[in-house]
Chains A and B, each alone.
Chain A
């Protein structure tokens, strides 16, 4: 069965510093990986995805993520954090045989001025 782990409940960074939000996954075949962001009392917004090809994918708002097959990871990164990036971030995975997109428990990112 597919699963996602986000090992950090909370990540704190200073504005202007780089940020990383970690994600590891487990699937039986090739993974389709996604990152979403959720602001308070809102639905989830899609940031980026990895399907195939280049291991570094770029998405919305300056975010990027690196797919690492050997480490089964898909960490979210941004070179310079903004206070407005503060939100709840979810990693999600599908495998090639499942319509069920499986989400991690989420990581709360706080960017301090």
Chain B
């Protein structure tokens, strides 16, 4: 049983560009959350998707957007990249109940030059 898979694992972009990160959830999971982890910090919640809708959003600008597909996979899009967007982007899947733990992928490390 494959866990959460993310792609790409590493990427380098320049300021002003756009990036799309992809996530396939653990089998059986219907909920996908995205987190940003800057170096030396804890993960920060970006948003969560359930039933192809954004269910909750953290304190991130509209440059960050997402999508969930009918097969529960998800994408994170970031427009107009800034140097400060450089971070490890983590996708986590779970069942929808609040008591459920998150299962994380290995992350996509984005470097913005």
Chain A residues in the interface with B (C-beta under 8 A): 32, 34, 36, 41-46, 49, 51, 90, 94, 96, 98-106
Point out the residues of chain B lying under 8 angstroms from A98, CB to CB: 56, 98
Q: List residues of chain B with CB within 8 A of the CB of A102.
A: 45
- Tell me the number of A-to-B contacts counted with CB atoms below 8 Å: 56
Alpha-carbon gap, A46 to B53, bound state (A):
25
Looking at B104, B105, B106, which has the most chain A CB atoms within 10 Å of its CB? Answer: B104
A42-B106, A46-B102, A51-B99 as given contacts; A101 in contact with B41, CB under 8 Å: no
User: In the complex the two chains form, what is the Cα distance from A42 to B42 in whole Å?
Assistant: 13
Of A32, A34, A99, the contact of B56 (CB 8 Å cutoff): A99
Tell me if A104 and B42 are in contact (CB < 8 A): yes
Chain B contact surface mostly: loop
Contact present for B4 and A43 (CB under 8 Å): yes
Range, interface on chain B: 20 to 34
B72-113 toward A: CB 8 Å interface, digit per residue (1/0)? 000000000000000000101000001101111111000000
A-B contact pairs, 14 of them (CB 8 A): A44-B43, A44-B90, A44-B104, A46-B101, A49-B99, A49-B101, A94-B98, A96-B98, A99-B48, A100-B58, A103-B35, A103-B44, A104-B42, A106-B42
Interface residues of B, Cβ cutoff 8 Å to A: 4, 33, 35, 40-45, 48, 55-56, 58, 90, 92, 98-99, 101-107
- Of all chain A residues, the one with the shortest Cβ separation from B46 is A100
A101 to B107, CA, bound (A): 17
In the assembled complex, how far is the CB of residue B31 from the closest CB belonging to chain A, in whole angstroms?
8
Pairwise interchain contact B101-A100, C-beta atoms closer than 8 A: no
- Asked whether B41 lies within 8 Å of A46 as measured between CB atoms, the reply is no
C-alpha gap A49/B103 in the complex (Å): 13
Contact B105 A43 (CB under 8 A): yes
Using Cβ atoms and an 8 Å threshold, which residues of chain B touch A99?
33, 48, 55-56, 98
B106 — which chain A residues lie within 8 A by C-beta?
41-43
A105 and B42 form a contact (CB under 8 A): yes
